[in-house]
């Protein structure tokens, strides 16, 4: 019988097989890389969009609950600062009750330490006592009637001084809560609100958008000042607590564009908020407008 000898692959055949496999792998990679890159880019854009939306929603919520006419915006170099006075609750005061009972009405002609409400505070638990919050009436936001300048000489008082103890208790009826103030002397509000509104204020809140650092930060826990703080250093020096709101803010003029148009007696205020976030090759920019009711 004739013997058969085993024959292997030659070097040329092996090189040809490797080359063909490499070409196939290249084509497969080309078809796979594009959808993978598209998915990665989409995931990055979705993350940036969620972050920008959450930041603008938080800022808009604070703006809507701010003391009327207390919003102010300032730009310093590559920093945009937004400040407002945050409110906890609101009510309507009684200024025409029986004058034989001084606890039932608020007197604007002299210092008064107690009054009742006709529409109650609804977001607090009674009895309520605080010496770190404020009461504000008729903050118009102009010289002579601004909550940012309670102690400037010849400036009308529209907000109680720091350290004033505010106590709110249940009254004779559900609506008639009794409000008492306990500073060294009773406090005189300079102006009455046309709608008899009184606000319970927790203090200032600031947002600092630093387009050099690429951050948007929220600051709370500092005192009211006539001069608006426009830097993280100034706020931290005033005792503020910082909380990060957004990172990856674009380091250009489009990073943060916050503007505020004050309202009038016939028109609400308008805050326009634009925030641009970027990472890698992906950039998103969201715009939100917030209507602010400024009737004091």
What is the per-residue pLDDT for 154? 46
Interval 259-287 mean pLDDT: 88
* Residues 205 and 84 sit within 8 Å (Cβ to Cβ): yes
Q: How far is CA 235 from CA 9, 147, 205, 256, in A?
A: 78, 18, 10, 19
Whether residue 217 is predicted with pLDDT greater than 60 in this model: the reply is yes
Q: What pLDDT band is residue 15 in, cutting at 50, 70 and 90? A: confident
pLDDT digits (tens, 9 = 90+) for 128-167: 999 999 999 999 888 778 898 765 544 558 999 888 899 9
Interval 52-65 mean pLDDT: 96
Give strand ranges (E) for the chain. Answer: 72-76, 79-93, 114-119, 128-130, 134-136, 166-169, 178-181, 197-210, 215-220, 241-246, 256-261, 269-279, 282-292
* Residues 94 and 117 sit within 8 Å (Cβ to Cβ): yes
Nearest CA to 204 out of 136, 151, 290 is that of 136
Interval 12-25 mean pLDDT: 73
- Quick check: helix, strand or coil at residue 265? coil
Whether residue 103 is predicted with pLDDT greater than 80 in this model: the reply is no
Please classify residue 119 by burial: count the beta carbons closer than 10 Å to its beta carbon, then call 0-12 exposed, 13-18 middle and 19+ buried.
middle
Cis peptide preceding 267, ω within 30 of 0: no
Nearest CA to 68 out of 138, 157, 167 is that of 138
Question: Among 100-109, 128-137, 173-182, 268-277, where is mean pLDDT lowest?
Answer: 100-109
* Residues 217 and 208 sit within 8 Å (Cβ to Cβ): yes
Q: What pLDDT band is residue 294 in, cutting at 50, 70 and 90? A: confident
Q: How far is CA 13 from CA 9, 23, 194, in A?
A: 6, 15, 96
Whole-prediction pTM: 0.84
**Which two three-digit tokens encode residue 47?**
């993350």
Task: Please state, rounded to an integer, the average pLDDT across all residues of the chain.
Answer: 86
């Amino acid at each position: 019988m004739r013997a058969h000898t085993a024959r292997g692959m030659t070097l040329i055949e092996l090189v040809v097989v490797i080359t063909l496999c490499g070409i196939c792998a290249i084509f497969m990679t080309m078809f796979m890389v594009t959808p993978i890159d598209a998915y990665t880019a989409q995931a990055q854009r979705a993350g940036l969009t969620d972050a920008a939306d959450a930041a603008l929603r938080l800022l808009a919520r604070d703006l809507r609950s701010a003391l009327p006419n207390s919003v102010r915006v300032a730009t310093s170099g590559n920093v945009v600062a937004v400040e407002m006075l945050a409110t906890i609750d609101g009510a309507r005061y009684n200024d025409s009750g029986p004058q034989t009972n001084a606890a039932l009405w608020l007197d604007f002609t002299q210092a008064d330490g107690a009054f009742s409400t006709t529409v109650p505070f609804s977001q607090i638990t009674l009895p309520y006592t605080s010496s770190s919050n404020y009461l504000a009436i008729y903050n118009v936001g102009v010289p002579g009637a601004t909550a940012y300048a309670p102690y400037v000489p010849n400036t009308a008082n529209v907000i109680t001084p720091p350290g004033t103890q505010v106590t709110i208790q249940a009254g004779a009826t559900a609506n008639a809560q009794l409000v008492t103030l306990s500073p060294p002397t009773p406090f005189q509000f300079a102006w009455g609100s046309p709608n008899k509104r009184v606000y319970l204020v927790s203090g200032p809140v600031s947002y600092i958008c630093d387009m050099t650092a690429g951050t948007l930060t929220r600051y709370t826990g500092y005192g009211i000042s006539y001069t608006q703080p426009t830097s993280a250093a100034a706020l931290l020096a005033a005792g503020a607590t910082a909380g990060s709101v957004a990172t990856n803010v674009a380091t250009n003029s489009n990073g943060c564009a916050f503007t505020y148009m004050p309202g009038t007696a016939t028109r609400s205020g308008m805050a326009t908020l634009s925030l641009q976030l970027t990472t890698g090759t992906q950039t998103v920019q969201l715009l939100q407008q917030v209507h602010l009711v400024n009737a004091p």
